[in-house]
Structure 1
Amino acid sequence: MPESLNLVQKRRSHLQNVVGDLGAQVVAALHQSVECLKTQDKALAASIIAGDQRINQQRRLLEQECLVTLAAYKPAGEDLRAVGACMELASELERIGDYAADVARIIERDVQDTLPAEPVAAIVELAEDAIDMLEQTLAAFIANGSEATLREAVAKESQVDREEDAFIAQVLERMRADAAFAATGTYLLWIVHNYERVADRATNVAERAIYVASGHTPDLD
Structure 2
Amino acid sequence: MLTPALYQPEPPERDEETKMTENLVQKRRTQLQAAVNSMGSMVIAALRQSVTCLAGHDLALAARIIEDDARINQQRRLLEQECLVTLAAYKPAGADLRAVGACMELVSELERIGDYAADVARIMFKHGETPFPPESVASIIAVADVAIEMLAEALAAFTSNSDEQTARASVASEEQVDRDEDSIIEQVFERMRADSGFAATGTYLLWIVHNYERVADRATNIAERTVYVACGQTPDLD
The normalised TM-score by structure 2 is 0.90
Could you tell me how far 1:211 is from its partner in structure 2? 0.4
Counterparts of 1:211 and 1:133, CA distance in 2: 18
Question: Which residue is equivalent to 1:133?
Answer: 150
Question: Which residue is equivalent to 1:32?
Answer: 49
Counterparts of 2:112 and 2:29, CA distance in 1: 23
Q: CA offsets per residue over residues 40-78 of structure 1, 9 Å max, x none? A: 111100000000000000000000000000000000000
Rg comparison, structure with higher value: 2
Q: Secondary structure at the match of 1:97?
A: helix
Question: Which residue is equivalent to 2:136?
Answer: 119
Identity of matched residues, %: 69
Moved segments of 4+, more than 4 Å: none
Counterparts of 2:128 and 2:224, CA distance in 1: 36
Could you tell me how far 1:37 is from its partner in structure 2? 0.4
Q: Secondary structure at the match of 2:237?
A: coil
More divergent stretch after superposition (65-74 vs 108-117)? 108-117
Q: Secondary structure at the match of 1:6?
A: helix
Match 2:117 to one of 95, 100, 122: 100
Question: Which residue is equivalent to 2:170?
Answer: 153
Counterparts of 2:178 and 2:192, CA distance in 1: 21
Could you tell me how far 1:112 is from its partner in structure 2? 3.8
| Contact kept in structure 1, 2:87 and 2:100, CA below 8 Å | yes
Is residue 186 of structure 2 the alignment partner of residue 169 of structure 1?
A: yes
| Contact kept in structure 1, 2:33 and 2:103, CA below 8 Å | yes
Question: Which residue is equivalent to 1:48?
Answer: 65
Q: Secondary structure at the match of 1:114?
A: coil
The amino acid across from 1:215 in the alignment is G
Match 1:74 to one of 86, 91, 98: 91
Match 1:8 to one of 13, 25, 34: 25
Could you tell me how far 1:146 is from its partner in structure 2? 2.7
Point out where structure 1 has 5 or more consecutive residues left out of the alignment.
none
Counterparts of 1:50 and 1:169, CA distance in 2: 33
Could you tell me how far 1:111 is from its partner in structure 2? 3.4
Aligned length: 218
Counterparts of 2:210 and 2:202, CA distance in 1: 12
- Give runs of aligned pairs for residues 158-197 of structure 1, distance below 5 A: 158-197=175-214
The normalised TM-score by structure 1 is 0.97
| Contact kept in structure 1, 2:127 and 2:201, CA below 8 Å | no
More divergent stretch after superposition (175-184 vs 14-23)? 175-184
Point out where structure 2 has 5 or more consecutive residues left out of the alignment.
1-19
Counterparts of 1:202 and 1:97, CA distance in 2: 12
Question: Which residue is equivalent to 1:213?
Answer: 230
Counterparts of 1:110 and 1:80, CA distance in 2: 46
Counterparts of 1:179 and 1:196, CA distance in 2: 26
Could you tell me how far 1:145 is from its partner in structure 2? 4.0
Counterparts of 1:170 and 1:110, CA distance in 2: 19
Question: Which residue is equivalent to 1:62?
Answer: 79
Counterparts of 1:8 and 1:51, CA distance in 2: 32
Could you tell me how far 1:182 is from its partner in structure 2? 0.9
| Contact kept in structure 1, 2:69 and 2:114, CA below 8 Å | yes
Across the aligned residues of Structure 1 and Structure 2, the Cα RMSD in angstroms comes to 1.1
Could you tell me how far 1:113 is from its partner in structure 2? 1.7
